[in-house]
Amino acid sequence: MKLWGIIRKNHKIIKDHVIEIEVPKGEVALVSGLEEICATFDLSVPVILTKHKDELKKFNRTVFRAHDFIEPVNFDSFEIEIYDIEKKK
């Protein structure tokens, strides 16, 4: 499974990064993958709310806003998207 992290400012992608993770889809993937992507972007890990977990389960995607980070950030949103490597038949 792959995890795609996107940083947007003024509705434009300013940074993105894709990692491959070996954990089951869901909350575990969010936490372990999120830490790795945040380290790549030199960000603190955002606060993970129930809203983020629910969006991930329903849509395989969630969005963190600036107020989800404890430290100040200079972008509008940080998005995480999970998708399967194997194509469905």
Note the pLDDT of residue 23: 64
pLDDT tops 70 at residue 80: yes
Per-residue pLDDT, 34: 86
Distance between CA 32 and CA 12 in Å, rounded?
A: 26
**pLDDT category of residue 89 using cuts at 50, 70 and 90:** very low
- 87 pLDDT exceeds 80? no
The answer to whether 78 touches 71, Cβ cutoff 8 Å, is no
What pLDDT score does 30 carry? 66
Q: What is the pLDDT of residue 29?
A: 59
List, for residues 7-62, the tens digit of each pLDDT value.
999 999 999 999 988 766 555 656 778 889 999 999 999 999 999 989 988 998 99
SS3 53: helix
Tell me, what's the pLDDT at 24? Answer: 62
